[in-house]
Amino acid sequence: MNITVKSISPVIKELVIELPKERVDEEIAKALKDAKTVAHTSVKGFRPGRVPKTIVENRFGKAIEAEVAHKLIDDSYPKAAEREAIQAVAQAHVEEYHLHRGEPFRYTVRVEVRPNVEPAGYFGLEVERPKVDIPAEIIDREIERLRLGQAQLKAIDGRTRAEKGDVALVDFVGRIDGRVFRDGRATDYQLELGSGRYLDELESGVVGMGVGETKEIDVQFPEQSPSAEVAGKKAVFKVTLKALHEKLVPKLDDDFAKDLGHASVAELRAKVRERIEGSARESALRVARQNAVDQVVKKNAFEVPPSLVERQLDIMMEDARNMFRRSGVRAEQVLDPAKLREEMRARAADHVRAAFLVDAIAKREGVQPGDSDVEERLQRIVRAAGPQGPDARRYWEEEENWDHLKAQVREEKTIDLILSHATIKEVERKPGEEADAEEASADELSAPAAPAIVAP
């Protein structure tokens, strides 16, 4: 077998592989013999194995050539790739082949390969990390959220007219231009009047209604509504008020704290602060890791395999669709998928580049997590999963998923090594990061995101 390798680019190789004519003739002879055995089923008048060779060749020649070519390629390409140390990252593509009896078989293959990465400049960085400084008002807001979560509803006696602050039990149907829009219909909906959690005009329109009354309320949807179906449009809601309740929020005292499993309000506050600060530290670490990786990517420019960029774009596009889906909107309603894909292309390429860089740094620096490191991560996942902990453990202990988790731990340990050699500059949190820290909880650990593309 003769092999010629040509570099089309740093990440694309072209292999011209040639097999001797003896091998070709041998495979053609085998294929003809097999074809003669089955040819009687489609060539009438001949017994099995008795169909003349010329008839078989005339009838099945093209199919036999294709079959032999595929067999020769399937048998020889893996050996050729191994001999030439081809580190493929995607399926190889056969560009052309020529098969003729009595001649060598020659075919050309193009394949995407790992880039040769020699990472530089990853130690000695200056990396920004948000400060972990949780003000008291965030703790207060979280405790208030806990109180509201324990609130109970009590039917209002002696009054049938809705007032601001009531929780109204309503049925409604919303229409735009006479048609019910998506999620525009509800039964036994609890509408807290004046809370601003739904639509202000709808909430204010219910104020003053009597129990049993049905009323039509005009509502103007905001332009920035996440649903393109209703954004900026006028709707008419037909609302029936069925009952009125008052919300009874428990007092912030030791009894309330005990209901949540804490000895006192002081202990509850301490636990809330501990959780939020823990989430803030995790958030700050994620930001610092990303800042470090971004700097390393900027210092190391190299071409990446196109198919991996496309694969990463598929992941990013699906993430975008899921984000819109959670808001009850189809992404295609509010954006041009083709345009968005192109806008994200450079970021996708950097993501793939980062995966190769982190992998190369890990190899150079000898970063290799042990099973104990992965087990520690798994225990955090199990704790965070609560009642579903045993199921989470079974899932991640499957071999493929365990390797996936191990790859993530390796990536994080490598980036943490980079951070250990960096100068960390603490900066004020950007707008929104406080909310991230406040809302984050341990359940973030239940489904860790592995590197979107792990360099093969």
Q: Which residue has the higher pLDDT, 16 or 97?
A: 16
| 242: amino acid identity, one letter | K
List the domain range (segments joined by +) for residue 167: 152-248
Confidence category of residue 96, pLDDT binned at 50, 70, 90: confident
pLDDT of residue 183: 86
Burial tier of 22 (Cβ tally within 10 Å: 0-12, 13-18, 19+)? exposed
Query: Is residue 382 within 8 Å of residue 391, measured between CB atoms?
Result: no
Residue 450, pLDDT score: 30
**Sign of the alpha-carbon torsion through 198, 201, 204, 205:** negative
| Rounded alpha-carbon distances, angstroms, from residue 33 to 27, 216, 242, 300, 336 | 10, 83, 83, 57, 56
pLDDT(446) > 50: no
State whether 296 and 403 are in the same domain.
yes
Identify the helix (H) or strand (E) that includes residue 111.
strand 105-112
Asked if residue 166 belongs to a domain, the reply is: yes
Kindly state whether residues 299 and 330 are assigned to the same domain. Answer: yes
Mean pLDDT in residue range 33-49: 51
Does any domain span residue 387?
Answer: yes
Which pLDDT does position 50 carry in this prediction? Answer: 52
Q: Is 190 in the same domain as 298?
A: no
Do both 170 and 197 map to the same domain?
yes
**Pick the residue with more confidence: 125 or 25?**
125
Same domain, 82 and 203: no
Share above pLDDT 90 across residues of the chain, in percent, rounded to a whole number = 67
Q: Residue 48 — very low, low, confident or very high, per pLDDT cuts 50/70/90?
A: low
| Residue 366 lies inside a defined structural domain of this protein | yes
Of 214, 248, 282, which residue constitutes the final position of a domain?
248
Distance CA 50, CA 433 (A): 80
With a cut of 90, say whether residue 45 has pLDDT above it: no
Question: Cα–Cα distances in Å, from 285 out to 164, 224, 377?
Answer: 44, 32, 16
- Is residue 64 in some structural domain? yes
Please tell me whether the overall predicted TM-score, pTM, comes out greater than 0.85 for this model. no
Mean local confidence (pLDDT), 26-42 = 64
* Unique residue bearing structure tokens 């954006």: 335
CB 168 within 8 A of CB 206: yes
- Among candidate residues 248, 276, 310, the one where a domain is terminated: 248
What are 53-62's pLDDT values in tens digits? 554 455 445 6
- 73 shares its domain with 214: no
CA distances for 276 relative to 50, 262, 264, 284, angstroms: 83, 17, 18, 12
Number of domains, the chain = 3
Same domain as 191, residue 101: no
Residue 291 and residue 263 share a domain? yes
349 within some domain: yes
Instruction: Determine the 3-state secondary structure of 186 from DSSP.
Output: strand
Question: What pLDDT was estimated at residue 321?
Answer: 84
Q: What is the pLDDT of residue 37?
A: 46
Are 217 and 344 in the same domain? no
Tokens of 399: 């071999």
Q: Are residues 221 and 275 in the same domain?
A: no
**How many beta carbons lie within 10 A of that of residue 428, not counting itself?**
9
Q: Residue 209 — pLDDT band, cuts 50, 70, 90?
A: very high
Burial class (CB in 10 A: 0-12, 13-18, 19+), 193: buried
Say what the pLDDT of residue 335 is. 75
- Look at residue 13 in the predicted model and tell me its pLDDT: 96
Are residue 238 and residue 277 in the same domain, yes or no? Answer: no
Q: Mean pLDDT over residues 6-17, rounded? A: 95
| 46 pLDDT more than 70 | no
Per-residue pLDDT, 160: 94
User: Does the pLDDT of residue 138 top 80, yes or no?
Assistant: yes
Does 274 fall in a domain?
yes
Cβ pair 167, 192 in contact under 8 A: yes
Domain membership flag for residue 456: no
Domain boundary among 248, 273, 301: 248
For residue 455, tell me if it sits in a domain.
no
CATH of residue 428's domain is: 1.10.3120.10
The reply to whether 107 and 171 lie within a common domain is no
CATH number at residue 169: 3.10.50.40
